[in-house]
Amino acid sequence: MVAVQEFAQAWHRLVFDNEIAEAWRQMEGDFRRVVAQTALGAARARGEAVDLVVEDLAVAEPQRPDVDEFFAVAGRMLEEACVAPPELVWPGRTVRFEAPALEVVRLYLLSDLAMGPGGARYLPDGQSARALTLITSFHGPGVLRIAGVGRLMAPGWPPTVWWEPPAEV
């Protein structure tokens, strides 16, 4: 399996194992910012100033006294975004380059894949399968980060989409 796929699968497992602090460290800074902005969106809607709080939370290891409460909310958001737990998905054989430093990993629903005689899962010709799309980014030799789940969001309020995944095939 490709290292990018292994990284994406490991991150996905962290989310569902409720290891949010470690999953948070492995996320791209802008993605952390978007998740923090979304989690605090209700406060913004009430007119509260949240920009400084978002910046405090968007670092790899937030030091705020309310970080555990925030991680609980962020963890639920990430789990809902990922939809399927790790035991129900498996990566395809390839990754897709979307930009010089961005790759897309698809984790396909096992129930949509056929099983070969040796027990290996595969996508039959002409068939389609639902998949979780994880976007990874490179930050130097051997350093990967998760840059998005399903789509790449731009930081700012409200968060906006930079990139949408193409239709599944």
Beta strands in 28-95 (DSSP E): 89-91
- The tens digit of pLDDT for each residue in 30-42 reads 999 999 988 887 6
Q: Are 146 and 4 in contact (CB under 8 A)?
A: no
Please give the structure tokens belonging to residue 123. 């996508």
CA angle 61, 63, 70 (to 5 degrees): 85
- The tens digit of pLDDT for each residue in 121-162 reads 888 888 888 888 899 999 888 889 999 998 766 667 666 766
Q: What average pLDDT does this structure show over 109-115?
A: 89
pTM of the prediction? 0.85
Question: Which of 23, 3, 28 has the alpha carbon at shortest distance from 95?
Answer: 3
Rounded distance, CA 21 to CA 14, Å?
9
Distances (CA, A) of 157 to 36, 41, 43: 11, 9, 12
- The tens digit of pLDDT for each residue in 96-105 reads 766 678 888 9
Please report, rounded to a whole number, the percentage of residues in the chain having pLDDT higher than 90: 42
